[in-house]
Amino acid sequence: MNSQSKKMELLGSTSIPKALLAMGIPTMVGMLVNAFYNLVDAYFVGGLGESQMGAISVVYPLGQVVVGLGLLFGNGAASYISRLLGHGDKENADKVASTALYSSVSVGAVIIIFSMVFLHPILKLLGATDSIMPYAATYASIYIVSCIFNVFNVTMNNIVTSEGAAKTTMCALLTGAVLNIALDPLFIYMFDLGVAGAAIATAISQVVSTCVYLTYILRKKSVFHFRVKDCTYTKETMSEIFKIGIPTLVFQILTSVSISLINNAAGGYGDSAIAGMGVVTRLISMGSLSVFGFIKGFQPIAGYSYGAKKFDRLREAIKTSILWSTAFCVIFGVILALSSTAIVSQFTKGDAEMIRIGAASLRANGISIMLFGCRL
């Protein structure tokens, strides 16, 4: 049996617990590590000072909006692709994959150019204070440009997972994350580049993840062929992509808006408050992105089962996913709530105000995330 047949068997006939473990755990681990290296960024930048920590906290929601474009096309297409594969319609699945990839990169490039032209007003809107602005502008000018690779990676993440190749997704995310963790102290401290070093380390890691996906495509490991000529913008294709993609993008935008509002509110209490809330945002994202990663593994199984009209299999997948994701969120939330002070204190040289504000927020967020799994 060739690799493509094995992928289809995994999606369509392997037992649900085994299929969810094979698909959900690799994507979950990949997303968890991806969130972890955002935490590592915060850990190393936190050693520079509260204003520097506040800078990456301010830029974070802008990066999330840009990445949301990858989710718009990637997550939207992934659901449709899985259903097409379940129907046995490989030709249209090919077209949807190509449309999603090239569209996300094109739109992402436009948004990045817009963000760079209006960078200072945007950073001000996101909560940058006068003391934070120089660091935020330095970090953003590198990080936001590199987000074009992240848009590509997020789109490919969803498309590759939709064809049952969850391990490839995990490999791409892990490679980038491990490299970023290794490069952060090198560029920030050894080369004495400060926040610019953190941005450069992240950019390099994103490029490497892109290379993993390109290797996967060029070696013809993918079920799909990504060709510009296959891009199709029919009403049916775009409506199916946007049906799932737009709610995902809106969720991403609203998350970024909420972070920005928190940054603006915290700004009145000083850079320590912004820095503390930035740490909490990254810690909570570890939990939420882990669940999203697991759901990414669940979606292809659900989509394929629906397309193949295997509704009993679909119902079993839904019930099992809700149970497992809820259990994870309860355990994660309890850990954050009970260890909030000890955790936040790792991201500062000893700023008592940052620890106080961050710990209180982390306790509240730890309690609220316990229900996150069943809400999804």
Give a three-class secondary structure readout of the chain: CCHHHHHHHHHHCCCHHHHHHHHHHHHHHHHHHHHHHHHHHHHHHHCCCHHHHHHHHHHHHHHHHHHHHHHHHHHHHHHHHHHHHHHCCHHHHHHHHHHHHHHHHHHHHHHHHHHHHCHHHHHHHCCCCCCCHHHHHHHHHHHHHHHHHHHHHHHHHHHHHHCCCHHHHHHHHHHHHHHHHHHHHHHHHHCCCHHHHHHHHHHHHHHHHHHHHHHHHHCCCCCCCCCHHHCCCCHHHHHHHHHHHHHHHHHHHHHHHHHHHHHHHHHCCCHHHHHHHHHHHHHHHHHHHHHHHHHHHHHHHHHHHHHCCCHHHHHHHHHHHHHHHHHHHHHHHHHHHHCHHHHHHHHCCCCHHHHHHHHHHHHHHHHHHHHHHHHC
The amino acid that residue 138 corresponds to is T
> Mean per-residue pLDDT for 274-302?
86
> Mean per-residue pLDDT for 363-367?
95
Residue 375 pLDDT exceeds 70: no
pLDDT at 220: 87
User: Tens digits of per-residue pLDDT, 28-83?
Assistant: 776 676 677 677 788 899 889 889 989 998 998 898 888 888 889 998 898 899 88
Percent of the chain topping pLDDT 70: 97
pLDDT at 7: 67
User: Tens digits of per-residue pLDDT, 104-134?
Assistant: 999 999 999 999 999 999 999 999 999 999 9
Whether residue 171 contacts residue 208, with contact meaning beta carbons closer than 8 Å, is answered with no
* Total count of domains within the chain: 1
pLDDT at 24: 78
Q: Which domain holds residue 93?
A: 3-375
Residue 5 pLDDT exceeds 80: no
How confident is the prediction for the chain on average, in pLDDT?
89
pLDDT at 137: 97
Q: Within 10 Å of residue 335's Cβ, how many Cβ atoms?
A: 13
Whether residue 97 contacts residue 81, with contact meaning beta carbons closer than 8 Å, is answered with yes
Averaging pLDDT over each range in 157-171, 285-299, 308-322, which range is the top one? Answer: 308-322
Is the model more confident about 9 or about 375?
9
> Mean per-residue pLDDT for 301-326?
90
What pTM value is reported for the model?
0.81
pLDDT at 3: 61
